Amino acid sequence: MPESWDDRPYGGAWTLLGGRTPQARAFAVYLVACSILQVMWPVDGVERSWTTALAVLLLVITVTIMMAVSAEPLPMAATVALIVFGTGSTAVALVAVPGRILEPPQVWEVGSLIVVYTFLCIRGRILAGWIGTILLVVVCCIWAYARGLGVAYGLSFSLVNVGPMLMATVFAMVVAPAAAEIYALRRESADRAVAEAAAAARLAERDRQLQRFDRLARPSLERIAAGGPYTDGEIADFAALEAHLRDLVRAPGLVHPDLDAAVWELRRRGVGVRMHDGHALDGAQSNTREDIRRRIIEEISGIDSGTVTVRILPRGREHLASVVADGDDGIRRIDFLRDGTIIEDVDAIPDAVVVDAASDSLPGERLPPTDGAPDPQDRSLVDPSGDRG
């Protein structure tokens, strides 16, 4: 079956009536089984031949196309194939009938194909269903004429199937619009549920961030509001808090309680820490993120002076993250590769990964001094002299 037959959205009267359920497939098997039983029905003077087997095979192909293709309305290629195989089944089956019809099982293919064509109407191809029915009648009339029975004889046992087609046509014209409305309402309800879930997630995330900000900043803000003088330890805490809040905006991929605690201690010891998130770890395996985070903590925990730059690199690069420590004992660099390899380099910093403060800072933001001390020009949090701005 070509892929193009089944790549369209489905959801119409056929689906609403259970055409895609196991029960519908069981009915298709039942239809084919009944046709085979009628073929095997003994009729005096009638011999079965290879043409009968071919007619059954064509019917099986026709029913398979009807059940296997899920798109609604039925794609045009599948519709044409269904009519061609159905008409061929009728013509081949009548070849085995030498003269007048002695018993109804001799024209088993007529009843079986009318069932398929009624389903074709429900699948949204009413015109195609009628074309198939008309071709069936024409084939029966040609057979009757060729056997010397007259066209009227062919009409006598084929036109009776127009009744089921009329009922299927009216049913399809009534149910199809209702099915479209039902599925439209279902899609609207699903879209509304998704939008509500997204809004609830945003509100929950906002509340979580507000609670976190309140927990982090309230003590310092209350102390600043109380007025100075401030101790050196308090000033260091204020500067560390400011840098941590900057990290929440500029490096969300590096925010983690264990790493936050390690970075906080570094800043309180006067170490300048810069953190940047290029989002290379977005979508990475949790164990990969955990291994990189653990290795970063191990690397920066023993630093007592200088500056540290922790950076998640942009997407699409071989390296996922890097740590550059510039201390009294020289420059040390660690790169974390996509395949899990860790590269350590001393006294060498490739230009491609040096942090450019002008490009990585937020609009209007000045990065903190590399020595870890508060910026003497920044009075946004506190004036060390004790005067509030």
The model's pLDDT over 174-200, given as tens digits with 9 standing for 90+, comes to: 877 777 777 778 888 888 899 999 999
Contact assessment for residue 216 and residue 255, using Cβ atoms and an 8 Å cutoff = no
256-267: burial string, b at 16+ Cβ within 10 Å, e else: beebeebbbebb
> Are the C-beta atoms of residues 247 and 308 closer than 8 Å to each other?
no
Instruction: Note the pLDDT tens digit of each residue in 195-227.
Output: 999 999 989 988 887 887 787 778 888 888 888
Percentage of the chain with pLDDT > 90?
11
| 70-95 pLDDT tens trace | 777 888 999 999 999 999 988 888 88
The whole-model pTM stands at: 0.48
Supply the DSSP string of 64-132, one letter for each residue: HHHHH---SSPPHHHHHHHHHHHHHHHHHHHHT--SS--SGGGGHHHHHHHHHHHHHHHTT-HHHHHHH
> Which of 75, 199, 92, 184 is closest to 143 using CA atoms?
92
Token couple for 41: 């029905």
- Residue 365: pLDDT band by 50, 70, 90 thresholds? very low
- Collapsing DSSP to helix, strand or coil, 24 comes out as helix
pLDDT at site 357: 35
Asked if omega into 363 is within 30° of 0 (cis), the reply is: no
Question: Which residue is it, tokens 């899609």?
Answer: 187
Backbone angles phi, psi at 334, to 5 degrees: -130, 130
Q: Which residue has the higher pLDDT, 67 or 233?
A: 67
